[in-house]
Structure 1
Amino acid sequence: MNILKLFISFLKIGAFSFGGGYAMLPLIQKELIDVHGWITTKEFIDILAVVEMTPGPVAINSATFLGYKVGGFLGSVAATVGVVLPSIVIILIIAHFLSKFKSSPYVSWAFTGIRPVVLGLITSASLTVAKDAIIDIKSFVLMAILFYLTSFKKLHPILVIVLAGVVGVFIY
């Protein structure tokens, strides 16, 4: 496994993702599973479960865990640095030119156009994960109930994760 390839893969993911970690998931899946075949879809879903339960940003946690899975400690470092480097560079550039950017209607229009793309990427990632995570009627019902509790009853996500784990122990 070439650590440089892993770094470049996550550098691309970090450079071309807008909207945070969830928006990166389809790019991560495409790069690690489809392009390189470094992990399977099942491994990807299992790692996402760990990433969701781990404190910190989804993008960094994903890069760290997936990098470790693919290339050990050095893979973890390479993936994490690769995914955050574009954001750091962009933030430094924006901070330098902030006074020129903040009043530009073009910048406002660009971000207005990017918002629906972010939603589309998150939806795409959700549907991709759902195809492999919903394995039977029990998992579908569990997903629907937990979606309802999280979205409409505003149950805390940590409680939902714990609840899902306990229910999973009993029904599987």
Structure 2
Amino acid sequence: MISLLIKLFYTFFYIGVFTFGGGYAMIPLITQEVVRNGWVESTDILIDFIAIAESTPGPFAVNIATFIGFEQAGILGAVIATFGVVLPSFIIILIIAKLFTKFSSNKYVQGFLKGIRPIVPGIILSVAFVFILRSVFSIEDLQFSDFTFEVGSLAIFLIIFLISKFWKKAHPVYIVLISAALGLIVYGLF
């Protein structure tokens, strides 16, 4: 049990240290580490975890760490994994807050910040592309064998896209609730 708690802490600390750009940018590393450690049986289950983490209040990375930690080692695992993912950001923000005003005009700091800006949307788009392929087209690991077309997921995606496009002031909670309702309708719970 102790070794599992140490592994949870180390894994989520590692994720917290080596990802920039928030929760969505963490998804590829979370996926790699959680699957590698055998904490989820398949990427489909991880996608469900991610959907739950995104649908609940709080930061995405904290929610997914808490969820995985709880699944692996109960409440103590949830606390350890959450602490692991939060600690690097806490330490880095303390350091930045102390030093940023002193170094914000430094050309190397400016170069670093300009250099990482394009990475974040690229990572987010990459994750979105993979999720669309997995959810809408049932393509696992980008291998196009056994290609099936998921009409229901595509319909939900298009409806939510159109709602978001034309209802600019829609609160994200409404979008999530509409998505959930559409999922219930399309997949036969009503």
Check whether TM > 0.5. yes
Name the aligned partner's letter for residue 147 of structure 1.
Answer: F
Q: 2:171 aligns with which of 149, 156, 172?
A: 156
How many Å separate the matches in 2 of 1:25 and 1:58? 10
Greater per-residue helix proportion: 1
Q: 1:84 aligns with which of 77, 83, 86?
A: 86
Which aligned pairs between 1:113-132 and structure 2 lie closer than 5 A? 113-132=115-134
Query: Deviation digits for residues 113-158 of structure 1, max 9, x if unmatched?
Result: 1011111211222223223322411211211221232245323221
- In structure 1, the gaps of 5 or more residues are none
How many Å separate the matches in 2 of 1:127 and 1:153? 23
How many Å separate the matches in 2 of 1:79 and 1:146? 32
More displaced, 149-158 or 3-12? 149-158
Equivalenced residue count is 171
Asked whether the equivalents of residues 13 and 83 of structure 1 are also in contact (C-alpha less than 8 Å), the reply is: yes
* TM-aligned CA deviation for residue 162 of structure 1: 1.1
Counterpart for residue 99 of structure 2: 97
Asked whether the equivalents of residues 63 and 83 of structure 1 are also in contact (C-alpha less than 8 Å), the reply is: yes
How many Å separate the matches in 2 of 1:93 and 1:151? 39
Counterpart for residue 10 of structure 1: 12
Say what the alpha-carbon RMSD is for the aligned residues.
Answer: 1.6
Name the aligned partner's letter for residue 155 of structure 2.
Answer: V
Query: Using a 3 Å threshold, how does the CA distance of structure 1 residues 12 and 49 change in structure 2: closer, same or farther?
Result: same
More displaced, 3-12 or 141-150? 141-150
Counterpart for residue 37 of structure 2: 36
* TM-aligned CA deviation for residue 99 of structure 1: 2.7
TM-score by length of 1: 0.91
Residue 55 of structure 1: SS of its match in structure 2?
coil
Asked whether the equivalents of residues 66 and 76 of structure 1 are also in contact (C-alpha less than 8 Å), the reply is: yes
TM-score by length of 2: 0.83
Name the aligned partner's letter for residue 163 of structure 1.
Answer: I
How many Å separate the matches in 2 of 1:114 and 1:161? 30
How many Å separate the matches in 2 of 1:43 and 1:103? 45
Asked whether the equivalents of residues 13 and 84 of structure 2 are also in contact (C-alpha less than 8 Å), the reply is: yes
Counterpart for residue 144 of structure 1: 158
Residue 143 of structure 1: SS of its match in structure 2?
helix
Query: Using a 3 Å threshold, how does the CA distance of structure 1 residues 69 and 130 change in structure 2: closer, same or farther?
Result: farther
Asked whether the equivalents of residues 150 and 156 of structure 1 are also in contact (C-alpha less than 8 Å), the reply is: no
Name the aligned partner's letter for residue 145 of structure 1.
Answer: I
Larger Cα Rg: Structure 1 or Structure 2?
2
How many Å separate the matches in 2 of 1:150 and 1:69? 33
Counterpart for residue 169 of structure 1: 184
